[in-house]
Amino acid sequence: MTCTNCGTENKPGRKFCANCGVALSTSCPACGAANDPTDRFCGECGTPLATGVAPDERAAPVAERRLVSVLFMDLVGFTAASESRDAEDVRDLLSRYFDVARTVVGRYGGTIEKFIGDAVMAVWGTPITREDDAERAVRSALDLVAAIPALGAEAGVDDLAARAGVATGETAVTLDAEGQGMVAGDIVNTASRVQSAAPPGGVFVTEATRHATDAAIAYEEAGQHELKGKSELLTLHHALRVVALRGGQLRSTGLESPFVGRERELRLVKELFHASADQRRTHLMAVTGVAGIGKSRLGWEFFKYVDGLADDVYWHRGRCIAYGEGVTYWALAEMVRGRAGIAEEEVPTSAAEKLSDMVARFVGDMEERRWIEGRLAQLLGLEDRVTASRDDLFAAWRRFVERIAQRGPVVLVFEDLQWADPELLDFIEHLLDWSRDQPIFVLGLARPEIVDRRTGWGTGRRGVTSLFLEPLDDATMEALLRGMVPGLPEAVGREIRERSEGIPLYAVETVRMLLDRGLLRRDGDRFEPTGPIENLDVPETLHTLIQARLDGLVPEDRALLQDASVLGKTFPPDTLAALTGRDEHAIRETLEGLVRREFLAVQTDERSPERGQFGFLQSLMQRVAYETLARRDRKAKHLAIARLLEDSWAGDDDEIVEVIASHYLEAYRADPDAEDAQALRANARVALARAGDRARALAAARQARGYYQRAAELAEEPSEEAGLLEQIGMTHRDDGDPADALTAFERSHALFSEQGLHHDAARLSARMGEALWLLRRPDEGAARMEQALGSLSDDEDDRDLATLAAQMGRILFFLGRLDDAWDRLEVALRTAEAMWLPDVLSEALNTKALVLSARDRPEESLALLTRSLELAREGDVPHSALRAYSNLSNHMMELERWDDAGAYQEEGGKLAERVGFRSSWWFLQQHVGFRLMARGRWDEMLAMVEALPAPEDDPAVLSGRDGLAWAAMQISARRGQLEDADRYAAMWIRSETDVQSLAGAASGDAERLLAGHQVEAALERGRFAFDSRNSLSLRHGAVKDGFRVACEAALELGDGETLTQLLAVVEAIPPGLLAPSMRATRDRMRGHMDAIDGRPEDADRRFRGAAQIYGELGMPFERAVVLLDRVERFGVAWPGAEDDLREASQTFEDLGAAPRLERARTVASG
C-alpha cells in the first residue's frame, strides 16, 4: 500500500506508514468504517472525512455527549479457584473467558473497553449509535452469564459463574478512541456497582436500562440497593430472559413459560449457526422430538437470538402443512413469499411484481436473474411450467439462496418436517451437497415420524448434526411450573409433573386449563392462584387435556374452533367468516377472545406471508378440535372449503390445488355411500389429477405419483384410468425408474387399446419404446417406436409425432442405422418447424448433426450443432443446451481444435453447475480428460480419475467415468503401468449395442494389448475400432486411435500386407475429410514403409511432416514418438537426429512414458 503523504510503499496489512507515520486508511468518525486516505466522504455512510496528517499535526480527540449503555461483568469464584490451580491453567482459562466476551459483545454490536483482572467492561452507543443499544447490551449480558458455567465445566472449575450489570445514561465519549478511554463519567462507576450487587449467574440493570428494554426483556424487581459512591438508593431490576424480537416485536400477549432444561441444546444451535457463518459452511441441524417436547420453542428462542445480533442475518421460516402427503414444496414457497413480501392470498400480478423486484435485489446478472425468477415463479404458481427438470428447478432455487448468502448468513427454518413432501427433503439434501461453501444454516424441526418419510434423516451426511429432544427431568419440570405459577401447591405440581412425563406442553396446557377455570390470575409475566387449589382432576394425556380445555368453552366458541380446524393450523379470518356464514367483525371478536384464552395466536411477523392470520397455538390443538367433529359435519365443511377456495382463487388456484384436492377427497371419504358420493368422487379425481400435474410441474415425481395413484383409484372410466396410469409411468421415468415406468405404460396401453383409442395407444407404444431403450433393450425399443410412428403418421401432425420421430432418430443413430435415423429426423424437423416446437427442433438438429458428421460432412454438422445450441439457449431448455455443448465439444476434439473444445467444455460445465445437471457435468468432464491427455497434461488427467466419487455417493459420475477411465488407461499403457491400465479398463461399463461405446472399448483394448506385447490381439481390436468409421466418422476419436494402433501392431508384426491395406483405405479418402492426426499417422507409417523399401529421403520427409503436424496440434507425446521413429530408422548420425532424440527423450521423461524413454536411451547409447 502506497502512503499518500510521502510515497513510501508499505507492506500489506499495515495501518500506519513505516516512514512518516500517517494513517494508511481513514476511519469514519460516524460509523468507524475504513476508507482510503484520499477519500473525502465515507463510502459507508457519507460522513465528511478529514485528510491524513503526520503524527505531530494530529487533531485532538473528538469528544461528545452521548447516550450509552455500559456493561460490567466479573467472575464469581475465580479468585478461590485460581489459588489451587497452575498459573498456566489460570491464564488459559482467562484467555478463553476473554475470547468468549469479545465474541459475544461483538456479535451484539458492542465494543470491549477494557479487561481488568477477571472483569470485562463493554460499551454500546459509541462510536456507532443504534436505537436499541441498551437492549443489545442486556442481551449480551444474559448470553455471557449463561456461557460461563459451560466454560468452567470445560476447564474443570465446576462452580464458576459470572454476574453482570448494565447501566444506561448520558456521558462523555471520545469518538476516535479505541479500547480504553472511550467512555468516562459516572455511568461507568454505576455499571460497576450494579454488577457487584447482582447474584452469581444474574444480570442487574438500572431503571433507565429497564425502561429502554422492557418491551423485549422480562424482568423481576430486584429491590433498592445502597451502592458505593451513590448518595441515594438505586432501584435495580433482574433481567430474566429475552421474550420478543428487538423493540418488543412478536411479543406474546399470552402465557410464555420460562425457557428451562434446553439451554445446552440452544447453545449447540447457536454454536453451529456461528460456525456455519464464520467458516462459510452449509449445515443442517435436524431436531426431532415428540409433540409438545419443545421444538417450536427452541426455534423461537433461536429466532430471538438471531434477531438481536448486530450483523445482518437473512432469516426464513416455512411450515410444512398436513394435507394428505404434504403440499409440494409448501415450506420453501412460504420462505420465498416471506422474502418477497408476498401475502398468501395476493393477486398474481402483484405477487409477480414483488417477486421480480426481490430477485433483482439479490441477483445482478441479467441472464441468471431471468433463469432464477422463472423458476421461483413456477414454485409459487405464478408461471406455467417453465421446466420439467428437477435438477434445473433445484439449481435455480439453490442459486437464489446462495445469492442471498453472499450478502450475509442465511437461516432456513423448516417446521413440521414430518409433514414434508419427499421432494422438499430432497431439496434440503441437494442444498447440503451443492452449497457446501456457503453460510447457510438449516434448522429442521420434526416429530420422530419423519423417519417414515426419510429413513436415516439427519444422519450419515456431511454437514449434519442430529439432536433428539428428550423429556425434561422432574427437577426441570418443577422449575418450569414454579416459574409460571410460583404459588402452585406442591401436591398439584407433583400430580402435573407425574402426568406430564417430561413433556413441557402438558404443563403449560394444565396452567392454561387452570386459567380457563378461573383458578389463576395473571401478575406480570407470572400467574398466581386466586385461592386454594386443593383437588384438581388433571387429565392423564396431553390429548385428553386439550380436549378438556375445548369442552370447557361455550358451544359457539367451540364450534368456531372446530370450523377453523378444518381450514388448517393457520387461517384467514375472512375465510372462516365465509365458511361459517357469520359476520367477519363478530368472528374477529370471538377469535381475539380465543387468543386471550391461549387457544389461538395471531401472526404479526411482517416477514411472514401468513401475517394477519390466526392460528392454533399447537398443531395438536388443531388435530384434537378436528377429531371432535362428527363425520357428517366433517364432510360438509371439507366440501364447503373446497368450493370456497375454488371460487375465491377463480382460476389462479395452481398453488393451492393440492389443498383443494385434499378437501374433496376427505369429503368423499367421510361418506362414500351418500347420494352425492359419485359427484364428489369425480371432483376428487379431477382435483387429485390437477394436484399431480402441479407436483409434476415442480419436478416432484414421487409426490405427483401419489396424487395420480389416488386419482386412478377413483377413476370410473377405463380411459380415465389409462390416462392416469400414463402419468404414473411418466413420474417413474422422471425418477429414473424405467422398469416401473414400462409396467405402468403397458397397463395404460392395454386400456387405451381396449377402448379403441388408437392415437393414445400409439403414444403409449412410443413411451414403452423409450423405457425399453433405457433398460438397454434397444432393438425392442426401436421396434415399439416404429410401430407407434406408423400409427401416429396416419393422424394429423402433432407434438407427439415430432417428439417420437426425434427420439427415434437419436436411438437409430446409436444403433448405427444412419439412413433410418435420417428419415425419422426429417419427419421430426418438418413437424417441429411447422408447429414451432423449438425444444424438439433443437434435439432433432443435434442428432442430424451427428448423422452428418458420421457421413463425413463436418462443416454442415458444425452449423447444425451451433444452431441447436442457439435454439436451446433462446428457449431456456438447459438439457438440450447441455447436449449441444457436449456434442460441440466432441466435434471440436474430432477436428482437433483443442482450444475451441476447451471453450465449449468450460461454458457447458458452468451451465451444468448452474442448473444442477450433474450427469451432464460429468459427461463434459470426460471430454476435459480427453483434451488433457492429448495435450500431454497426464498427471492432471490422472488426478481427476483418482478423485472420482464412488457411484453410491454420486450416481451421476457414471455418465463420465467410462471416458475418464479410458483416458487414464491409455496414459497408463503409454507409461508401461499395465496393472493400472487393467484397473482402469475394469471401470468401463461395456455396451453391446451402442456403436460409440463398442468402438471406444475396442480402441482402448488395442492400446492396452499393444503395451502388453499382445500384438496380434491389439491388431484385431484396432481394426474393429477403425471399421466403425462407417457408423461414426473418420474423425471420431475411437476410429483415429484404432487406425493408429492397428498400423503400429501391423508394423511390429512385420505384416506389410495388412499395413498397406490400412493405408490404402485412408489414402483413398479425400484429404479434406481426414483429421490432421490421421494424416500424421498415415505419413508416419508411409515413412516406415519408405525406409524399409530403401527410400530414406522420402521417409525422412514423411517423418518430418508428421512431426510438424503433431507439433502444430500441441500433442507432445505423438510428436515425440515420430521423432524417435526417425532416429531409430536413420541413427543418431542422421542430420537433426541428435536434436530430435534430445527433444523426444525430454518429452518422454516429462510425461513419465518409461517404455519409450528406455528406447530413446538405448538409441542414444548406440
Q: Residue 417: inside a domain, yes or no?
A: yes
Q: 417 with 311, same domain? A: yes
Dmax (CA) of the chain: 123
Among residues of the chain, what percentage have pLDDT more than 90? 57
Q: Give CA separation, 673 vs 73, 451, 643, 678, 679, in Å.
A: 73, 35, 21, 9, 11
Residue 842 amino acid letter: S
| Residue where a domain stops, chosen among 525, 550, 575 | 550
Q: Residue 896: inside a domain, yes or no?
A: no
Q: Residue 787: inside a domain, yes or no?
A: no
Tell me the CATH number at 432: 3.40.50.300
Residue 601 amino acid letter: A
Q: Residue 791: inside a domain, yes or no?
A: no
Average pLDDT, the chain: 88
Q: Residue 817: inside a domain, yes or no?
A: no
So what's the pLDDT on residue 30?
A: 47
- Parallel/antiparallel/unpaired status of strands 161-174 and 183-184: antiparallel
So what's the pLDDT on residue 788?
A: 85
| Alpha helices, H only, 1055-1095 | 1056-1067, 1076-1092
Q: Who wins on pLDDT, 85 or 831?
A: 831
Query: Would you say 948 and 962 are in contact if contact means Cβ atoms under 8 Å apart?
Result: no
Number of structural domains, the chain? 6
| Residue where a domain stops, chosen among 571, 604, 629 | 629
Q: Three-class SS of residue 867?
A: helix
Q: 573 with 448, same domain? A: no
User: For residue 775, what is its C-alpha cell?
Assistant: 433398460
Across residues 1029-1034, what is the average pLDDT?
Answer: 83
- The span from the CA of 1125 to the CA of 1115, in Å, is 16
Tell me the Ramachandran region of residue 90: left when phi exceeds 0, alpha when psi lies from -120 to 50, beta otherwise. Answer: alpha
- The span from the CA of 801 to the CA of 793, in Å, is 7
Q: What are phi and psi of 754, to 5 degrees?
A: -60, -30
Q: Who wins on pLDDT, 1084 or 699?
A: 1084
- The span from the CA of 335 to the CA of 400, in Å, is 12
Q: Is the dihedral of CA 413, 417, 423, 426 positive or negative?
A: positive
Residue 957 amino acid letter: V
So what's the pLDDT on residue 334?
A: 94
Q: 123 with 184, same domain? A: yes
Q: How many CA atoms lie within 13 A of 964 on its CB side?
A: 23
Query: Would you say 272 and 283 are in contact if contact means Cβ atoms under 8 Å apart?
Result: yes
Q: 47 with 171, same domain? A: no
Q: 184 with 234, same domain? A: yes
The band of 454, judged by pLDDT with boundaries at 50, 70 and 90, is confident
- State the residue for C-alpha cell 481427476: 944
Lowest mean per-residue pLDDT among 232-236, 870-874, 918-922: 918-922
The band of 619, judged by pLDDT with boundaries at 50, 70 and 90, is confident
- The span from the CA of 333 to the CA of 694, in Å, is 14
User: For residue 516, what is its C-alpha cell?
Assistant: 380457563
Q: 181 with 95, same domain? A: yes
The band of 326, judged by pLDDT with boundaries at 50, 70 and 90, is low
Q: Where are the beta strands (DSSP E) in 911-1000?
A: none
Residue 1111 amino acid letter: G
Q: Residue 861: inside a domain, yes or no?
A: no
Q: 16 with 159, same domain? A: no
Q: Which residues of 1102-1133 are buried (b: 16+ CB within 10 A; e: fewer)?
A: bbbbbbebbbebebbbbbbbbbbbbbbbbeee
- The span from the CA of 393 to the CA of 562, in Å, is 38
User: For residue 677, what is its C-alpha cell?
Assistant: 358420493
DSSP 1054: T
- State the residue for C-alpha cell 439479490: 362
Residue 506 amino acid letter: Y
Q: Give CA separation, 565 vs 97, 476, 614, 630, 635, in Å.
A: 50, 33, 11, 13, 13
Rounded to the nearest angstrom, the gap between the alpha carbon of residue 1150 and the centroid of all alpha carbons in its chain is 42
pLDDT digits (tens, 9 = 90+) for 632-659: 999 999 999 999 888 876 556 567 888 8
Query: Would you say 921 and 909 are in contact if contact means Cβ atoms under 8 Å apart?
Result: yes
CA angle (905 as vertex; 901, 907 as ends), nearest 5 = 115
Residue 604 confidence (pLDDT) above 70 = yes
Q: 54 with 24, same domain? A: yes
Range of the domain at 12: 1-59
pLDDT digits (tens, 9 = 90+) for 808-833: 998 899 888 999 999 999 999 999 99
Residue 20 confidence (pLDDT) above 70 = no
The band of 61, judged by pLDDT with boundaries at 50, 70 and 90, is low
**Which residues fall within 8 angstroms of residue 443, CB to CB, at 6 or more apart?**
269, 285, 287, 299, 302, 411, 412, 413, 414
Rounded to the nearest angstrom, the gap between the alpha carbon of residue 736 and the centroid of all alpha carbons in its chain is 21
pLDDT digits (tens, 9 = 90+) for 1051-1096: 999 999 999 999 999 999 988 888 999 999 999 999 999 999 999 9
Rounded to the nearest 10°, the torsion over CA 30, 36, 40, 42 is -30
**Which residues fall within 8 angstroms of residue 1133, CB to CB, at 6 or more apart?**
none
The band of 59, judged by pLDDT with boundaries at 50, 70 and 90, is very low
Q: Three-class SS of residue 629?
A: coil
690: closest CA among 654, 741, 717, 716? 654
| Burial zone of 1073 (CB within 10 Å; 0-12 exposed, 13-18 middle, 19+ buried) | middle
- The span from the CA of 371 to the CA of 175, in Å, is 47
pLDDT digits (tens, 9 = 90+) for 112-162: 988 888 899 999 988 888 899 999 999 999 999 999 998 888 888 888 899
**Which residues fall within 8 angstroms of residue 58, CB to CB, at 6 or more apart?**
none
Q: 87 with 227, same domain? A: yes
Across residues 940-954, what is the average pLDDT?
Answer: 88
Residue 970 confidence (pLDDT) above 80 = yes
731: closest CA among 759, 718, 712? 712
Q: Residue 877: inside a domain, yes or no?
A: no
Tell me the CATH number at 133: 3.30.70.1230
- The span from the CA of 532 to the CA of 132, in Å, is 43
Across residues 87-93, what is the average pLDDT?
Answer: 85
Q: 33 with 136, same domain? A: no
Q: Residue 133: inside a domain, yes or no?
A: yes
Q: 487 with 621, same domain? A: no
| Burial zone of 357 (CB within 10 Å; 0-12 exposed, 13-18 middle, 19+ buried) | exposed
So what's the pLDDT on residue 57?
A: 43
Q: 101 with 209, same domain? A: yes
- The span from the CA of 214 to the CA of 239, in Å, is 9
- How far from each other are the two terminal CA atoms of the chain, in whole angstroms? 60
| Residue where a domain stops, chosen among 468, 485, 501 | 468
